Amino acid sequence: MSTLFTNYARRSVHLVRGEGTRVYDDNNKAYLDFTSGIAVVSLGHAHPSIVDAVKKQSEKLWHTSNLFESPEQEMLAKTLMKGTPFSRAFFCNSGAEANEAAIKLARKHTGKQVIITFEQSFHGRTFGAMSATGQEKVKFGFGPMLETFRTIPFNDSRALEAAVDEDVAAIMLEVIQGEGGVNTITPEFASKIQEICMANGILCIVDEVQTGIGRTGSKYAYEHTVLQPDIMTLAKGLGGGFPIGAMLGHEKLAESFGPGTHGTTFGGNPLAVAVAQTVVDYVFEEEFLSEVERKSTYLMEKLKDSLANNHIEILGKGLLIGIRCTDEVTPIISIAEEEGLLLVQAGPNVIRLLPPLTVSEQEIDEAIALLTTSMRVPSQ
Ligand SMILES: *Cc1c(COP(=O)(O)O)cnc(C)c1O
């Protein structure tokens, strides 16, 4: 009997080691990791630069709390904010926590309560983030939710217009809904959100916990749209496997998070910040990002060719890719795992591909061969 709560439906593989795109189980069986620990290990496993950053910082200083000033946090913030509308940062430990900070900041700044969110969205498992999430299965049994989230259909401009009134503090969205099925915002809907926010003084919050830090081929996914967000949240890929989250905000919001308003003990501790700085410096190189774009095009084209006879649709952007199938994809994911390819779902019918951003063309070829085989094996 397990000593752990069974809140995760765990697969029966015990991974013990990783290098680049490959991970190995306790029988030394190799797998191509096209999950990246759910969009986290963006530079692959045991990347030498990250290992080095951990070693160096772990011998100097691990933790101080936020009682003291931190030029290291300032520097990471500056790197993250370059070329964005943001000029303030708050560091925390996870995506849900970054979203909690965003919800609190939006309420405090506007003095209003309502936040509009979207069906199929995912914002995390804490009470505020769960209430914001547009998926019933996430909330089931935990009610009542916080009441002031208005959750409406995604990419539906009329529903959005109908949901706006003077009580609305913010609109909170994922530019690509990662967990909810790799659903991308339409250009029309992005324009509508931007227009409504501008006209009504409503804040725009982009949750880039999954899409940020190079995952879609640009630093942040909102850059592919006309959105000019006031707040952005990050986590997952930011630490390359080390837990860290961040909320970035526009200068006009600075006063609403004055001394004593919000905080967290571990947030932005020296070890986490040293690792994140290494990851971000690496990923934000222009050449690195254009490589991600190139590999994305290569992967998507090859997928279309290889799966041309299947009834599928390819979704997503950069290296956040979905394959929408007509049936449940769980059996395919199990077969792929036996074949040595790790994949993750996004909703019942979508296979999600999230390779490390450092994946090679050869590894892409290998993964597609394994995937094609797995999709050919008839499921019972
Ligand atoms: C994973 C995810 C979260 C939650 O992040 P945690 O670190 O698990 O709390 C929030 N928003 C999005 C878009 C995510 O993909």
Question: What are the φ/ψ torsions at residue 10 (nearest 5 degrees)?
Answer: -75, 145
Dump pLDDT digits (tens) for 93-112.
999 999 999 999 999 999 99
Tell me the CA–centroid distance for residue 181 and ligand 1, in Å.
14
Confidence at residue 376, expressed as pLDDT on a 0 to 100 scale: 86
Dump pLDDT digits (tens) for 165-183.
999 999 999 999 999 999 9
Identify residue 358 by its one-letter amino acid code: T
How far is residue 174's CA from residue 121's CA, in Å, rounded to a whole number?
Answer: 7
Confidence at residue 378, expressed as pLDDT on a 0 to 100 scale: 56
For ligand 1, pick from 36, 103, 123 the residue to mutate: most ligand atoms within 8 Å of CB: 123
How far is residue 44's CA from residue 13's CA, in Å, rounded to a whole number?
Answer: 19
Exposed/middle/buried for residue 372 (C-beta within 10 Å: 0-12, 13-18, 19+): middle
Tell me the CA–centroid distance for residue 124 and ligand 1, in Å.
5
* Helix pair 270-283, 48-60: axis angle to 10 deg: 150
Taking alpha carbons only, the member of 178, 209, 212, 210 closest to residue 347 is 178
Count of helix runs (H) and strand runs (E) in the chain: 12, 17
Answer yes or no: are the C-beta atoms of 33 and 47 closer than 8 Å: no
Taking alpha carbons only, the member of 189, 200, 203 closest to residue 156 is 189
Answer yes or no: are the C-beta atoms of 241 and 37 closer than 8 Å: yes
The strand order across the sheet containing 30-33 reads: 15-19, 22-25, 30-33, 341-342
- Of the pLDDT bands very low, low, confident and very high (cuts 50, 70, 90), residue 3 is very high
Q: Can you tell me which atom of ligand 1 is nearest the CA of 93?
A: 7
Residue 130: strand, helix, or coil = helix
Confidence at residue 91, expressed as pLDDT on a 0 to 100 scale: 98
Say whether 6 counts as a known binding-site residue.
no
Average pLDDT over residues 248-256: 98
pTM for the full predicted model: 0.97
3-state helix, strand, coil in the chain (%, to 5): 40, 20, 40
Average pLDDT over residues 283-303: 98
- Catalogue all structural domains in the chain, each as residue range(s) with its CATH number: 50-283 (3.40.640.10)
Say whether 122 counts as a known binding-site residue.
yes
